[in-house]
Amino acid sequence: MPRILDGAVIAAEIKQEVAAEVKQLAAQGVRPGLAAVLVGSVPASQIYVRSKVQTCEDLGIYSELITPPDTVTTEEMFELVAKLNDRDDIDGILIQLPLPAQVDAKALLDAISPAKDVDGFHPVNAGRLQAGRPALAPCTPAGIIEILKRSNLPIAGQHAVVVGRSDLVGKPAAMLLLHQNATVTICHTKTRDLGAMTRQADILVAAIGRPGFITPEMVKPGATIIDVGINRLNTRAEFDRFFAGNARREATFAKRGSTIVGDVDPKAFEMAGAYTPVPGGVGLLTVAMLMANTVHAAKMRRGL
């Protein structure tokens, strides 16, 4: 039986450590603060941001939820970011993605002060990360490293194959794995014979954004699989493709009319030595690492 890497347990451990740091900072008169910006009413984004704000509250981090309407302009967003950059009580600025089409998301993320870029999306932080300098690293990739380390799974010398080359997950995950001395291969939509690549993986990171994309024959028996995907299945046919006969999932689907699957076909997990489930895996680490980054940013900005 493969080992299930429980994101909730690891996230709880990290949050406990962050809460202890927040307490120490309070003794020095410092309270880390996060501004979470949620534009419009994308249901998934609302859930994510609510969880981020709630977690701040749980850990003693000051948080502020800012909710511009989905008609907001790039110009108005620039003004908001400029104000947050200038505020001394705000250490981290999080702009939840995706943004409405009329907002120039890249230009906006570039306008966030790199010192407050707790998502690690600013090119300055991406550059620092790749150059091996102290940086705010993107939360999901940082969470992947925490899962591996805290589960005592080796990284150094392992062949890590990252499927997906996004700026937000694939690329920074590959960089962080490289810094941990893994041998790293990055695969993408144009990779020839993808299965031949993924079958070499001791650590397989699936960050593609397609439901159940990694199938059992793509996995080396005993590999560690990190599933970054969060894909909603809305139809019966989609549901049956992955979860036919699964009573627990059947109950969720009956109640909500949908369920979640990662980028890994659940049957492929049976090949693994260890894997992160969806839900309950990497996603929970993203929030925990955001908290860690906010405290880190608060300390760095004050030279602590």
What three-state secondary structure class fits 22? helix
Torsion-angle region of residue 257: left (phi > 0), alpha (psi -120 to 50) or beta?
left
- Report the residue from 91, 119, 202, 263 that binds ligand GUN according to the rule CB under 6 A: 119
67 vs 191, which CB is nearer to ligand GUN? 67
Active-site annotation holds for 96 = yes
The binder of ligand GUN chosen from 30, 42, 66, 97 (CB under 6 A): 97
Task: Look up tokens 């309070």; give the residue.
Answer: 26
Measured from the CB atom, the residue of 224 and 286 that comes closer to ligand GUN is 286
Q: Report if residue 96 touches ligand GUN, rule: CB under 6 A.
A: yes
How many whole angstroms from its chain centre is CA 43?
18
Q: How far apart are CA 151 and CA 133, in angstroms?
A: 26
CB atoms under 10 Å from CB of 157, counted, come to 10
Of 5, 94, 136, 137, the one binding ligand GUN (CB under 6 A) is 94
Residues 122-161 close enough to bind ligand GUN by CB under 6 A: 139-140
- Of 32 and 141, the one with the shorter C-beta distance to ligand GUN is 141
Q: Tell me if 227 contacts ligand GUN by CB under 6 A.
A: no
Concatenated DSSP letters of 175-216:
HHHHHTT-EEEEE-TT-TTHHHHHTT-SEEEE-S-STT-B-G
Contact stretch for ligand GUN (CB under 6 A) within 25-33, 60-68, 93-101, 242-250 = 93-101
Instruction: By CB under 6 A, name the binding residues for ligand GUN.
Output: 94-97, 119, 139-140, 286
Show which residues are catalytic.
52, 96, 119
